[in-house]
Amino acid sequence: MRFKLAIVLLTLLLSATVSTANPGGKGDDVRSRDCAGSCHASSSSNGVSTASLNIIFPNEVYAGLLIEVNTSVGNIDVSSNNMVGMTLLINSDGAKDLPANDGWEVVTDPNGGTNNYVEISDSFSSQNIVNRSWTLRAPSDTGTYELYLAVQHGTPEGGVAMTGISQAKSVIVEEVPENLPRLSEDWTPTNQREIGVETIITIETINVESATVELMNGAEIITIPVVDNEFTIPAAVNPGTVQWRLVMEGEGPTQYSPWFRITAQEPGWQVDETALYLQGVALFLLCAGLVVLRRKDEENLLKDYDNTVHLNESSFENQDPLQVQPIDEQVTITNDVQQTPPLPASGLPQGWTMEQWEYYGQEHLDNLAEEGAQ
């Protein structure tokens, strides 16, 4: 029973996965509108949001290049946690609506990740507009595309999940001019860094003769030179986000990259799952060994208190072998003496059988004794 219990505990230990919780919401992720809308409540308890939603594209969007898309959310009353889930989509059908289905790539979302759904906590209200920017890579094929902004949020009273989606926002993706200074289509910006460490970023460009970096430091813009396609962002002292963009000059018109965001954060807790499983196995073996040792100690303790063998040996050693009779014979003799009374000198009473004497002989003798006494 103990072994079976240990097997069950080990199975549960090894099947447990390492995970993290995201209080207050479901967490940023790649989601369609159907999932994003139903993740906060069942569809039967959803309401229609009154939020004003908008998407703003740059004037020129070239195939395969990075662009900055700005989204705004206004005229909205939310729950006490001031959180709104924002989703970029390509249709309002709730199916095959991920940007990747049309060739869009989310390079940097408003929270520094690469998700089309993000949860934003800000001063949302009916009198305030909250703006967020996304860095996207445009589809590699030219043509006209549509994007939608969907939201879901709670209400001040609670108990109802509100959902809403914007009107379609069209954008024309054009062919890239031959001499256009630009970032390479294979280059991807860095989104995360650790606190206290300088960040060296290497860029890859096409048709660029010179480049500089504009680093936004609060309301101030700091210019950083690019040397051998590299530049350095100073180390961050505290967690936070800085924005930078690349100014590229060449034969064609001067180009500005989108504002890229890089977030500084404390090193996260990392888990080696292999080491964790090995520790679980080692813990199981340790517990199993302790159980086995304990059972052996209990058996030895019982042997120490069991003197039956010694008593039997000593009793037989002190007896005369001729006087020792088998136990079965002793029991038989004892039973015979106790059950059959002695026959009188005159023999069995007239008409009695030996079987009657075995059962009623003692009573007959007792009656004779009483008559003689009288």
| pTM over cut 0.85 | no
Residue 197 belongs to a domain: yes
The amino acid occupying position 355 is: E
More confident: 315 or 94? 94
Whether residues 119 and 259 share a domain: the answer is: no
Q: Which amino acid is residue 201, in one-letter code?
A: I
The mean pLDDT of 95-117, rounded to a whole number, is 94
The per-residue pLDDT for 18 is 43
Which of 176, 198, 228 terminates a domain? The answer is 176
132 lies in a domain? yes
159 shares its domain with 198? no
160 inside domain:
yes
> Would you tell me how many other CB atoms lie within 10 Å of the CB of residue 73?
26
Query: Of 157, 164, 165, 166, which Cα lies nearest the Cα of 78?
Result: 157
Q: Answer yes or no: do 68 and 195 share one domain.
A: no
Are both 59 and 170 inside the same structural domain? yes
- Residue pLDDT, tens place only, 173-206: 999 999 999 999 899 999 999 999 999 999 999 9
Range of weakest confidence among 53-62, 71-80, 289-298, 303-312? 303-312
Instruction: Provide the CATH number for the domain around residue 200.
Output: 2.60.40.10
C-alpha–C-alpha distance, residues 40 and 160, integer Å:
9
Under a CB-based contact definition with an 8 Å cutoff, are residues 84 and 124 in contact?
yes
The answer to whether residues 165 and 197 belong to one domain is: no
DSSP state of 29: B
Statement to judge: residues 53 and 167 lie in one domain = yes
192, 68: one domain: no
Neighbouring C-beta atoms of residue 364, cutoff 10 Å: 16
Do 33 and 72 fall within a single domain?
yes
What is d(CA 165, CA 51) in angstroms, rounded to the nearest whole number? 9
Count other C-beta atoms under 10 Å from residue 86's C-beta. 26
Query: Is 223 inside a domain boundary?
Result: yes
Which of 269, 284, 301 represents a domain boundary (last residue)? 269
Claim to verify: residue 36 and residue 131 sit in the same structural domain: yes
Q: Does 312 fall in a domain?
A: no
Domain carrying residue 353? 324-374
Strand partners, 316: none
User: 183 and 172: one domain?
Assistant: no
Considering the domain boundaries, does residue 313 fall inside one?
no
Tens digits of per-residue pLDDT, 1-42? 556 655 655 565 555 444 333 445 678 999 998 765 544 444
Q: How many domains does the chain have?
A: 3
160 and 183 in a common domain: no
Strands (DSSP E) contained in 186-319 are: 192-194, 199-202, 205-206, 210-217, 220-225, 230-233, 240-249, 255-256, 260-265
Is it the case that residue 229 has pLDDT exceeding 50? yes
Contact by Cβ (8 Å): 207, 179: yes
Residue where one domain finishes, among candidates 146, 176, 206: 176
Q: How many residues does the chain have?
A: 374
User: Considering the domain boundaries, does residue 298 fall inside one?
Assistant: no
Give the separation between CA 220 and CA 215, rounded to whole angstroms.
Answer: 8
Domain-located, residue 2? no
Residues 172, 32 share a domain: yes
Between the CA of residue 232 and those of 114, 123, 227, what are the distances in Å?
23, 33, 10
